[in-house]
């Protein structure tokens, strides 16, 4: 579906713009023309990997001088008009009503946890210095290079240093090529890195997560794995791909991303199940995962619930608790889209996202508080009015 270029101004002052222009410089020019640039304090962009990242970054710096710039490559964009397979989605935060500070964590494949925590604490101090009374509602947003295989370490370090400020975010994608994901921070491109933003706003917010799977009785024990590569070679002392394929009734030779989206695996942590999605089958029959995985871990085969109803219930709950949704910044696993497409309900998910003003991108992993997740929809919902608990609440969940 072609969108051209469109823009929406939300009640909170955030502007969202999106385009499916063919080239990077054209996309930036189109978005810049659509937005009221004088009002922007910080710009987040989610862009297709078909764009050349260097010209894109240069064009953004030229079109938005003096504006904080962050972003990442995706496996699909989400705009208020629907999904974008190829293009650019921009979220422009106004100077009024939002205060944003951002930091960059580098070399995350070998992350210095103490150094990362110190960077996040420094961001907190900067935010505190601008508003000593501690007023406003706060959340943290993470964008992480997924190919560094370091999300768990990054999120753990950040959550420790945030000291109760809720964190949500997504892992950069590249349309399921698994070759090159890239981040943007303050006018330069970054790999093997993570961007952390701290946001304070006068508007009511809720962070959330939603999934649509439930556990079955089928269990797998990881009996051999290469943990630093997130690669499992054996499940139940059998070749991993073959054991998984037999359990779900598929031919090991025909396993695909669609198979993994339809038959997810989950791990039980603290009484709750969290998805651990398989990203691909390796030539030797091992399975590479989107999340950290280790020997001895017990995985449970999950079965899907109605993805449309699960998503609708979450958005309706957010709408009710906030007195009306103004905007949802969402991080949606690319496997959820594949699963919805295979069940021929993707158009119904897209309609829900349009109805509730969801904007964001399709990810290789999602962050929620101190957890790195798969096959989940996470995000931050911004309300139209103050919630029933009053102005002083930072978050309800």
Confidence of residue 396 (pLDDT cuts 50, 70, 90): very low
Q: What pLDDT score does 84 carry?
A: 87
Q: What pLDDT score does 86 carry?
A: 86
Is the whole-model pTM more than 0.85? Answer: yes
Which among 363, 306, 303, 305 is positioned nearest to 331, based on CA atoms?
A: 363
pLDDT digits (tens, 9 = 90+) for 49-64: 999 999 999 999 999 9
Q: What pLDDT score does 136 carry?
A: 83
Confidence of residue 392 (pLDDT cuts 50, 70, 90): very low
Q: What pLDDT score does 99 carry?
A: 95
Distances (CA, A) of 216 to 243, 264, 300, 343: 16, 11, 7, 20
Question: Is the distance from CB of 53 to CB of 46 less than 8 angstroms?
Answer: no
Residue 316: which residues within 8 A CB-CB, separation 6 or more?
none
Q: What pLDDT score does 81 carry?
A: 83
Tokens of 73: 């490559």
pLDDT digits (tens, 9 = 90+) for 354-365: 999 999 999 999
Distances (CA, A) of 295 to 223, 226, 235, 241, 290: 5, 8, 9, 16, 16
pLDDT digits (tens, 9 = 90+) for 61-109: 999 999 999 999 999 999 988 888 889 999 999 999 999 999 999 999 9
Q: What pLDDT score does 4 carry?
A: 87
Confidence of residue 389 (pLDDT cuts 50, 70, 90): very low
> What are the boundaries of each domain within the chain?
5-210+308-383, 213-304
Residue 132: pLDDT over 80: no
Rounded Cα gap, residues 324 and 233, in angstroms: 48
Residue 390: pLDDT over 60: no
pLDDT digits (tens, 9 = 90+) for 148-190: 999 999 999 999 999 999 999 999 999 999 999 999 999 899 9
Q: What pLDDT score does 62 carry?
A: 97
Residue 344: which residues within 8 A CB-CB, separation 6 or more?
none
pLDDT digits (tens, 9 = 90+) for 268-325: 998 889 999 999 999 999 999 999 999 999 999 998 899 999 999 999 999 999 999 9
Residue range 336-348: average pLDDT? 93
Question: Is the distance from CB of 168 to CB of 367 less than 8 angstroms?
Answer: yes
Residue 130: pLDDT over 80: no
The pLDDT > 90 percentage for the chain reads: 89
Q: What pLDDT score does 304 carry?
A: 86
């Amino acid at each position: 579906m072609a969108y051209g270029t469109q823009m929406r101004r939300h009640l909170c002052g955030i502007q969202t713009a999106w385009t499916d222009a063919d080239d990077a410089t054209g996309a930036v020019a189109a978005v810049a023309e659509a937005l009221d640039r004088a009002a922007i304090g910080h710009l987040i962009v989610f862009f297709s990997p078909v764009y050349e990242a260097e010209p894109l970054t240069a064009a953004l710096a030229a079109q938005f001088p003096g504006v904080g710039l962050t972003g990442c490559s995706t496996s699909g964009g989400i705009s208020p008009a629907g999904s974008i397979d190829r293009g650019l989605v921009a979220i422009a935060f106004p100077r009024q009503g939002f205060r944003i500070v951002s930091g960059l964590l580098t070399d995350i494949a070998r992350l210095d946890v103490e150094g990362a925590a110190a960077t996040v604490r420094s961001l907190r101090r900067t935010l505190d210095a601008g508003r000593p009374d501690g007023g406003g509602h706060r959340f943290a947003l993470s964008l992480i290079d997924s190919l560094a295989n370091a999300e768990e370490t990054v999120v753990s370090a950040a959550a420790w240093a945030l000291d109760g400020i809720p964190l949500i975010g997504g892992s950069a994608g590249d349309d399921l090529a698994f070759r090159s994901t890239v981040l943007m921070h303050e006018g330069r491109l970054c790999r093997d890195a993570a961007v952390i933003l701290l946001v304070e706003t006068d508007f009511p917010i809720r962070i959330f997560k939603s999934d649509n799977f439930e556990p079955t009785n089928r269990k797998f024990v990881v009996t051999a794995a290469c943990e630093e590569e997130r690669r499992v070679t054996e499940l139940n002392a059998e070749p991993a791909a073959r054991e998984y394929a037999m359990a779900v009734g598929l031919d090991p030779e025909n396993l695909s991303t669609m198979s993994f989206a339809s038959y997810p695996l989950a791990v039980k942590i603290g009484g709750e199940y969290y998805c651990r999605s398989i990203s691909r089958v390796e030539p030797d029959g091992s399975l590479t995962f989107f999340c950290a995985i280790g020997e001895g871990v017990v995985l449970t085969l999950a079965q899907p619930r109605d993805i449309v109803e699960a998503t609708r219930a979450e958005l309706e709950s957010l709408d009710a608790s906030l007195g009306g949704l103004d905007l949802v910044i969402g991080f949606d696993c690319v496997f959820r889209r594949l699963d919805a497409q295979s069940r021929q309900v993707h158009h119904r998910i897209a309609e829900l996202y349009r109805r509730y003003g969801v904007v964001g991108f399709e990810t290789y992993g999602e962050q929620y508080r101190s957890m790195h997740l798969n096959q989940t929809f996470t995000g931050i919902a911004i309300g139209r009015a103050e919630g029933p608990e009053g102005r002083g609440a930072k978050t309800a969940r």
